[in-house]
Amino acid sequence: MLLPEKIFNAGVVGAGGAGFPAHIKAQSKVEFVLANGAECEPLIHKDHELMLNFPKEICRGFELLIESTKAKKGRFGIKEKNTKAISAVSRHLNGKSELTKLGDFYPSGDEFELVYEATGRLIPPAGIPLDIGCVVNNVETLYNISLAEKEIPITKKFICVAGAVKKPSSFFVPVGTSFKDVVEFAGGPKVSEFGIFVGGVMMGHLTFDLNEVITKTTAGLIILPKDHYLIKRKNQPEQNWHRIGKSACDQCSYCTEFCPRYLLGYQVEPHKVMRSLGFTKTGAAVWNEMAELCCSCGLCTLYACPEDLYPKEACDKAKVEMHETGIKFIQQKDVKVHPIKEGRRVPLPQLIMKLKLQDYDVEAPFNSENFSVKKVRIPLQQHIGKPAKAIVKKNEVVEEGQMIGKVSDGELGANIHVSISGKVKEVTAEIISIES
Ligand code: SF4
Ligand code: SF4
């Protein structure tokens, strides 16, 4: 069996956030394969821990992908400050691969940034790395590809739990485990009232629901007291974000001046998007276009804006409106890196200070204890594309690793496997519940 087929069967998706089915990338032919170990979300250290503890498996996945795509070169993006991870990974890299050492900036893990740092190439506006002969995979995806080679399906997610918990740590969790069980495994919360940033404080979403579950793309959970600055900011009703923005934005343009996509040469100008908040629908459409190439990194809202406004959220809204009206902005001018880019990069420690997270900025070491759980709720859509279709029925007995959700022939998606042995308790179009 060829590698793309093994990856497809094992249900591997991009573990770095978006959940793009990994077999598609393995089928392509490219010049560069890039490993993304540039983790930059404040407080999340799971990729660092994975590189320290499983460098051989990650590099095996990297090598397999280089072979499968017939790439001439491999570039392993990793932060220069992570010296132990660098020496662990270096021991397993083959002749075609080199390290690309990165500074400790936010968002150095953004695909557009990484591709530019590693190859000097700029992805075309609204394009993908493949357009310039590259594929990028997060280090955990590469680890999972090494499992897929051995025909081991993806049933566990490596996550980091940090913030106001007694034991900040990184560990493997069965997919479908509730946040409640996960937070308990990290020693439990340090405070009685808290919120959870799922996937990180910059790009993740805020929830107070402990019944939500870990999926194949959950990078980690950041627990913060309910009265923390970030929870108060994020927990404002959406209409407030835009109402305050309409009245208080003084068009200083700091949001644009710090925007990493703007500094790379893309026409992303959040200060112009802010103008759309005060316009009628026709007027807004003009300014909305300046949001099309935004990657939702959150830097404008949480770092740049001196008025604590919400330019990132204005960009998110603009993208939805453009999508609904069928408008697609195509940048006409050449992408040219801004001469001040290097000087405007945002050091991670500075961002952590601005976010008032210094008290939580600690390591999250790997906990190798077995995480056992009695109940999981496994979503059938954990990836980009169509949801998988359930292939088990209520009351059926299932074994860990068994396929329970299947992608229909010819559709973009990923297969789903059960993460614990037990009995099927519920099957809907969205979720399968299992109890051991
Ligand atoms: S930084 Fe804030 S105040 Fe300045 S233009 Fe952007 S949104 Fe408006
Ligand atoms: S969220 Fe803000 S800073 Fe980040 S890419 Fe979008 S506009 Fe730029």
pLDDT given at position 245: 87
What separation in Å is there between the alpha carbon of 51 and the centre of ligand 1?
38
pLDDT-derived band at 286 (thresholds 50, 70, 90) equals confident
pLDDT-derived band at 282 (thresholds 50, 70, 90) equals low
- Residue 310 predicted with pLDDT over 90: yes
pLDDT given at position 339: 96
pLDDT-derived band at 89 (thresholds 50, 70, 90) equals very high
**For ligand 1, atom 3: residue with the closest CA:** 249
Q: Count Cβ atoms below 10 Å from residue 59 Cβ, excluding itself.
A: 26
Range name among 85-89, 329-333, 379-383 with the lowest pLDDT average = 329-333
**For ligand 2, atom 4: residue with the closest CA:** 297
CB 364 within 8 A of CB 223: no
Can you tell me the mean pLDDT for 92-100?
Answer: 93
Q: Count Cβ atoms below 10 Å from residue 235 Cβ, excluding itself.
A: 12
Residues facing 165 on adjacent strands = 189
Can you tell me the mean pLDDT for 178-182?
Answer: 98
Q: Which of 233, 241, 254, 294 has the most ligand 1 atoms within 8 A of CB, as the residue to mutate?
A: 254
Q: How far apart are the first and last CA of the chain?
A: 33
- Residue 360 predicted with pLDDT over 90: yes
- Report percent pLDDT > 90 for the chain: 88
- Residue 57 predicted with pLDDT over 70: yes
Q: How far is Cα 179 from Cα 13, in angstroms, rounded to an integer?
A: 21
Written as one string, the DSSP assignment of 370-410 is: ----SEEEEES--SSSSPPEE---TT-EE-TT-EEEEPPTT
pLDDT given at position 281: 57
pLDDT given at position 277: 84
Can you tell me the mean pLDDT for 212-221?
Answer: 97
Calculate the dihedral angle through the C-alpha atoms of 307, 313, 315, 321, rounding to the nearest 10 degrees.
-140
**For ligand 1, atom 8: residue with the closest CA:** 249
What separation in Å is there between the alpha carbon of 300 and the centre of ligand 1?
8
What separation in Å is there between the alpha carbon of 249 and the centre of ligand 1?
5
pLDDT given at position 161: 98
Q: How far is Cα 431 from Cα 413, in angstroms, rounded to an integer?
A: 15
Strand (E) or helix (H) holding 32: strand 32-37
Residue with tokens 């999340």: 44
**For ligand 1, atom 2: residue with the closest CA:** 305
Q: What is the pTM of this model?
A: 0.96
Task: Please provide the average confidence, as pLDDT, over all residues in the chain.
Answer: 95
What separation in Å is there between the alpha carbon of 300 and the centre of ligand 2?
6
- Report percent pLDDT > 70 for the chain: 99
pLDDT given at position 259: 98
pLDDT-derived band at 327 (thresholds 50, 70, 90) equals confident
Between 1 and 283, the higher pLDDT residue: 1
Can you tell me the mean pLDDT for 371-387?
Answer: 94
Residue list, ligand 2 pocket, CB within 6 Å: 259-261, 268, 270, 294-300, 311-312, 315
- Residue 305 predicted with pLDDT over 60: yes
Residues 6 or more apart in contact with residue 409 via CB below 8 angstroms: none
What number does the ligand 2 atom closest to the CA of 295 have? 5
- Residue 283 predicted with pLDDT over 70: no
Q: Are strands 105-106 and 346-347 parallel, antiparallel or unpaired?
A: antiparallel
User: In the chain, how long is the greatest CA-to-CA distance?
Assistant: 63
What number does the ligand 2 atom closest to the CA of 291 have? 7
The amino acid at residue 189 is P
Which ligand approaches the C-alpha of residue 258 most closely? Answer: 2
Q: Which of 244, 255, 272, 316 has the most ligand 1 atoms within 8 A of CB, as the residue to mutate?
A: 255
Can you tell me the mean pLDDT for 284-308?
Answer: 92
Residue list, ligand 1 pocket, CB within 6 Å: 249-255, 270-271, 274, 304-305, 307, 309, 311
pLDDT given at position 280: 60
Q: How far is Cα 294 from Cα 259, in angstroms, rounded to an integer?
A: 9
Which ligand approaches the C-alpha of residue 295 most closely? Answer: 2
Model pLDDT for residues 71-87, shown as the tens digit of each residue: 999 999 999 999 999 99
What separation in Å is there between the alpha carbon of 424 and the centre of ligand 2?
43
Burial level of 284, CB count in 10 A (0-12/13-18/19+)?
A: buried
What separation in Å is there between the alpha carbon of 304 and the centre of ligand 1?
8
